[in-house]
Structure formats: structure tokens, C-alpha cells
Amino acid sequence: MTIAENIMARRSPVPNIRGGVCRAITVALLLSTPLGLQAKVDPASVYEPVAPTIEQARANILIARQLQFTHFRDLNISDELSANVFEAYLDYLDGQRIYLTKADIEKFDQIKGQLGSALKTGQLQPGFDIYNLVQQRVIERLKFAIGVIENGIDKLDFTENESILVDRSEADWVADSKALDELWRKRIKNAVLAQRLSGTKDEAIADTLLRRYEGQLKRAYQARSEDAFQAYMNAFTGMWDPHTSYFSPRTSENFNINMSLSLEGIGAVLQSDNEYTKVVRLVPGGPASKQGELQPADRIVSVAQEGEKPVNVIGWRLDEVVDLIRGPRNSSVTLEVIPATASDETMTETIAITRDEVKLEEQSASKDTLHLQRGGKEYTIGVITIPTFYADFQAMQAGDPNYKSTTRDVRELITQLKAEGVDGLVIDLRNNGGGALHEANDMVGLFIDKGPTVQIRNANNDVQVLVDEDPSVAYAGPLVVLTNRMSASASEIFAGAIQDYGRGLVVGSQTFGKGTVQAVRPLNHGQLKITQSKFYRVSGGSTQHKGVIPDIEIPSRIDKTRIGEDALEHALPWDQIEAVPHTRYYDFSSIIDELRQRHDQRFATSPEFSLLQKEIDFLTKQRATDRVSLNLNERREEYEQIERTRLAIANARRELDGKPPFESLEALEDWQDQQAADLASTDDEVDFIIREGGQIMADMLDLNSRMASILTPQQLAAQTPAVTSSP
């Protein structure tokens, strides 16, 4: 977590560990007037090259020094680094290889190996030369696209047996501008086909595409020196790790607003992803999270205010997209997104979200109970869901005896569940992106007598050990912790400690793997967010990169190749340090194989799991699609098959819920829109993953009578001696 995030935790009930977010801004923090609609651009306009400033050169020198002498990773600025910076910079500017040609790339050969030495001394011109050439090529391509549309999309032939590569990030650079013309002709055909298949008329398609390309062209002509500098610096800082990044003065302003105010908007964390703005994660309790359609890794294509036409935001700066999404409470904003599951960037969905404030009580821990029958005996299992690790520091500092925090709320919920006579407890940390570190430390203390909870190592190899010094134990009985890929930072610290102490089983999917700590440092021009420490478990292994591996795994819809620390370029590796003495309360090795076998048997006959697996298989197939047809008939067949599968999966879920099926995909989408408009309509039914956590708990109670009663802290601590190795 960053220093700034610690500040935020004192002022706002927002998670203050970013769970793998790099170069991110939280959307819609203040009330703001959205940017105006795009204007047409004179095709005769001339691009004015941008140039570095003295302030930027000084900031560059300061950044280089900070990276070399204070970053956790020991990395020298070398010729090899120069080549990597060059590749990362090109990836940011033209990640899909649709603007530059092989001849353009060859022009850069002379400076490719010299960027490192230039970056050491604030010589920014080479980076700006690359930026200016890319902008010129962007303008050329967009003018070509506008010309194709204005010539009439009815001139495009959709009977040819053509296809287009979906992801060109690893493709060869095309030879020349003629080859680029052919590539862009196919891109336009692909965009037209996607809208035709969704029922849009050609006139509307042409209007949409013209506004898209004219908007991007306008942004290209409006390029600023700061755009080039921020892109170049982030290609440079990203060599150390993905969470080290440069914030321009404008981005710093947004970041500092985020740190100091409660959220008011849609509640989503965004980052730049080449020419798109990508959703990193959703804030628990926020409008987007409650609405349910927007998902991590979705890319935003356009933004529409209530009653207005959509504004295409492809190619926009991140801060400007944030400004556009901001707006007053209770107003509506509609996002057109490319879903993370889409096989093709022309496949978009529209999502209407009502802006609102993210309230602390909606992020608070909550409880439920499960009642399971086993062999004539009924087990009552308590469930505590924790969306984030929060603390109301303002109320605490004001002396409010009833201030809210994760640990205080969970302690009270445990008291209530024990009064209900629960036989075991499930802690649900799925989608919990982290938060206040001290809350993770204190919450571990609710389940252990006392002892270390996490180790923090800095660049000098100094290790700080956080310790729970409170000998009281709120709950000493059997425990299951649920995790998924979006469980990050503080969640991983808690889950890892519970696993290391043998206090419970971790069930679900591998966590995010965000095990680094950042600090935000001021520069003469903007700020630098820099990684300075790493988290380690009490058993010595880091939570970085690897995360927490569950004892019993449950498949997830989330694509691990796109989301997670190990999906990020230049992420710090997993490693380990010395374990610290800690008590091993229970050895699950004698029962874990039987627990897994029973779990597998249940899932083999579970209709919910069968449906989940169908969804995963469908999404995997979609993600694996590398080419799409540009033949109308072939593409229609592909499209209809996808739509039939979507409807079948939705109706299978409706059947499981005892609800009537949707007659058509349109009916499904109308229902989704209705749900989106009514944020108060929530489904309180416990999902089947939580129920499976309860079933695993019942198995634990069946298999080992030692766990069938809640032990006293003294009995619990006396079970086994302290150990210093990982379980």
C-alpha cells in the first residue's frame, strides 16, 4: 500500500491497497461538468510536434535517481534496459501494430540502444521524436478510415472469404503504407459487420464510425507535451515493476483527490491500456459493483450522459475519460464497453449506471447462516462476507466509541453468530481488493492467541514484522476462508496467515498476488509512485506474484492470463525469507485428501458447478479465438451461435433459481437494463460457492471430532508447539 493510501484510509472508507492496480485513477470522485461532444476536424489540419520542457527534463533526472537508488528492485540503466524501454514505449503507443510500418521501426534502430543513457541525463528528445512520428501515423490512418466511410460502407464487399487477426500485439509490423491501407480496410469491415449483426442500419453505422474516427483524430491533433512525457516516463518506470509509475501534475491532482475524499460516481478503478481505458476493479458497495454488468478488464469505447449522444473515448487521456464519467449523484452515465470476454474488439455492450456515493455501510462486513443436514445431524455454519478492509479513522480520532472498522465489525458479527450456536465459520474474501494493512493484522488476531501476522522487507533487506499482541481470541473453532483472483493485498495477508497458522482452510481460486508496498513521492513536476517494500508470510514465502494458493480449488470465470500480478509485465518475482516463529494450531494433512475427494464428488453432480464449467468453457473458447471472418454469412453464423449460447446459459441459471426462462436475448438484455435501473433490487440468496464452503466445513466436522467444538484460546494454543517452517 502507498503512503498516500494510508492517508486515504484516515479520511475515507475506501480500500487503500490497490490490488494490482498500475497507473490507475478511481472514477468520479467529485461533481464535475462532463467534457463537450467531439467536433469535426478539418482534414487539412497540420499536426504540431510536441517538445519536452525544462521542468520535464528535471523531473526525468529525479525519476532516474529515485529508481536506481530507492526502488526495491536493484536494476541498472543499461543498453538492455534501453531496448526494453523502447519496446514498452512502442507497445503503449501502438500496441496493436496498426499505425507504424516496418520501415518506421527501422528508423528507430539508431536510438533504440541509447534511450537509457539519455533518460539518465534528462535528454527527452529521442522519446518525443518517437511520439511525434506515431501521432503523425495515427492521423494518416484515421484520415484513411474517414475516407473509406465517407466513400460509402455499401462499397465494402462482405462476400469475400476474408478474415482478420483479433489481437495483433504479437504480429509482425506491416511492410508499408499500402499494407496498412489493406489492414485498415479489414478493420473497418469488421466494425461494420459487428454493428450490422446487432441490427444497426448502415446509415447509423456510418454515423457512429465517423464520430469515432473524427473524435480520435481530434485527440491526435490536440496532443500535448505532457502526454508524450507521461507515456515515455511510464514506459521507463515500468521496467522496475508495474506499480511504479509517473503521475503528471493533472493525474496527481486526480490521485490526491482520490486519497482525500469519499467516492462519488460509479465506483470503478481505471487505467490506460494502449488507446483504451480499461476497468481494473470495482469498488465494493459502489454503483458499478451493485449494478453487476461492468467487469474487470472491460475496455471503455464511449461514454454517454443521460439523454445525450455517446462520446467516443478511444485514444483519450485517462484523466479526460475520468472527467467525462464524473457527474452528480443520481444522474445516469452509459458506458459502451468491449467486455473482457469478447473475442473481438468490435463486440461491445452498453451499460447504464446511476452515479452515487460509495457509502461506508455498504462496504461493511455482513453475516449470514447456512443450515446443512449430514447423517441426521444439522450443522449451522456462520458466513461473514468482507468486501474490503476498512477503518473510519476520522471517527476514531474524534473519540467516537462506535467507530467502524473491519475488525470491530467482524468481532461483533462473530459474537452474534456464536450466540446462534454456529458449528463453524466461513469468511468470504472474494473480490476483496485489500485496504488498511493494520486491519488485516488485527483481524488475524481475532483467530489466534497472539503472534506475527506479516513480514515487510525493504530494499535494504531490513525486515519489519507486524504482530498481533492481543491474547484474546474472538473465535477459536473451525474456519474456511474463501478467495478468488480479485482477492488482493490485505486479503492475501489474512488468508496466508490463516493458512500458515493452520487455523483454517483456504478455498477458492489463486489470489491476485499483489505483495508490494508503494510510496508516492513529490517531484518538481508531478509525482512518482514507487515500490519500496514487499510483503512476506510468517512462513517466509512472499504473497507477491504467486498470491495464496487455496487448499481446495474452485474454478473461476476470471481469466488469470489477463488479471493478476503474474499477468503484468516486469512484476517482481516470488521469493522467500526466513520464517518467523508461529504456532501451528491444526495439521490438515490427515484429512485434506478426503476433503478434496468429497468436494470433487459434490461438484461432479452439482448443476450449479456444471453451469459454471459451461460458462468457463464458453469464455475460454471466446478468448482463444484469434481470427474472425469478414464474410457476412460466416460471421452471422458465428454471431448467432454465440448469442444462442449466452441465452442458454442465462436460462439455465434462471431454471436453477426457479424462475421462467427468457424467450429471447432481447428479453434478457431488457431484464438486465431493468436491474441496472433499480439498484435497490438485490439478490440475498447465498451463492453456491459459499454453500460449498459450508459443505467443506461440515466435512471437516465429520472427519475430525477434535474440531467439532469451539476450543478455548488456551486449548487452541496448546495443541502444537511453535514452528518456523511453512505448512
Please spell the DSSP secondary structure of 3-45, one letter per residue.
HHHHHHHHH-SS--S-SS--SEEES--S--PPPPPP----TT-
Name residues of the chain where pLDDT drops below 70: 1-44, 251-264, 343-344, 358-362, 672-686, 705-727
Cell numbers for 276: 483504451
Q: How far apart are CA 602 and CA 372, in angstroms?
A: 14
Please report which residue ranges of 382-489 form alpha helices under DSSP H: 393-397, 406-419, 437-444
| Cβ contacts of 30 within 8 Å, gap of 6 or more | 257, 261, 264, 326
Residues 261-357: name the CATH superfamily.
Answer: PDZ domain (2.30.42.10)
Report helix, strand or coil for 204: helix
pLDDT one-digit tens code per residue, 59-68: 999 999 999 9
- Mutual angle of helices 3-11 and 249-260, in 10-degree steps: 40
Query: What local confidence, expressed as pLDDT, does residue 686 receive?
Result: 64
Q: Is 489 a catalytic residue?
A: yes
The second-level CATH assignment, the architecture, of 360-587 is Alpha-Beta Complex (3.90)
Cell numbers for 511: 489470489
Report helix, strand or coil for 354: strand
Report helix, strand or coil for 451: strand
Q: How many residues does the chain have?
A: 727
Amino acid 212 reads R
Q: How far apart are CA 340 and CA 322, in angstroms?
A: 20
Q: Which long-range contacts (CB under 8 A, 24 or more apart) does 589-592 make?
A: 590/704, 591/700, 591/703, 591/704, 592/505, 592/551, 592/552
Catalytic residue chosen out of the listed positions 189, 278, 404, 514 = 514
Burial of 713 (0-12, 13-18, 19+ CB in 10 A): middle
Catalytic residue chosen out of the listed positions 356, 392, 449, 500 = 500
Buried (b) or exposed (e) across 306-326, using 16+ Cβ within 10 A? eeeebbbbbbbbbbebbbbbb
Query: What local confidence, expressed as pLDDT, does residue 724 receive?
Result: 41
Query: What local confidence, expressed as pLDDT, does residue 458 receive?
Result: 95
Query: Strand runs (DSSP E) across 347-409, as ranges?
Result: 349-354, 356-357, 366-374, 377-385
Query: What local confidence, expressed as pLDDT, does residue 400 receive?
Result: 81
The full set of domain ranges for the chain reads 261-357, 360-587
Q: How far apart are CA 53 and CA 537, in angstroms?
A: 45
Would strands 479-483 and 505-508 be described as parallel, antiparallel, or unpaired? parallel
- Mutual angle of helices 125-150 and 177-197, in 10-degree steps: 50
Q: Is 189 a catalytic residue?
A: no
How far from the centroid of its chain's Cα atoms is residue 356's Cα? 21
Assign residue 352 a region: left if phi > 0, alpha if psi is -120 to 50, beta otherwise? beta
Helix H or strand E encompassing 616: helix 607-624
Cβ atoms 590, 547 nearer than 8 A:
no
Q: How far apart are CA 168 and CA 172, in angstroms?
A: 8
Cβ atoms 386, 432 nearer than 8 A:
yes
Q: Is 514 a catalytic residue?
A: yes
Cβ atoms 443, 406 nearer than 8 A:
yes
Query: What local confidence, expressed as pLDDT, does residue 144 receive?
Result: 97
Q: How far apart are CA 425 and CA 428, in angstroms?
A: 10
Q: Return the number of other C-beta atoms located less than 10 Å from residue 86's C-beta.
A: 23
Catalytic residue chosen out of the listed positions 289, 489, 539, 556 = 489
Query: What local confidence, expressed as pLDDT, does residue 722 receive?
Result: 40
- Mutual angle of helices 249-260 and 225-237, in 10-degree steps: 70
> What are the residues facing 164 on neighbouring strands?
628
Query: Strand runs (DSSP E) across 449-588, as ranges?
Result: 451-458, 463-468, 479-483, 505-508, 516-522, 527-536, 552-553, 582-583
Cβ atoms 448, 395 nearer than 8 A:
no
Would strands 424-428 and 479-483 be described as parallel, antiparallel, or unpaired? parallel
Amino acid 397 reads Q
Question: For residue 466, which of 404, 563, 536 has the smallest C-alpha distance?
Answer: 536
Q: How far apart are CA 597 and CA 595, in angstroms?
A: 5
pTM for the full predicted model: 0.84
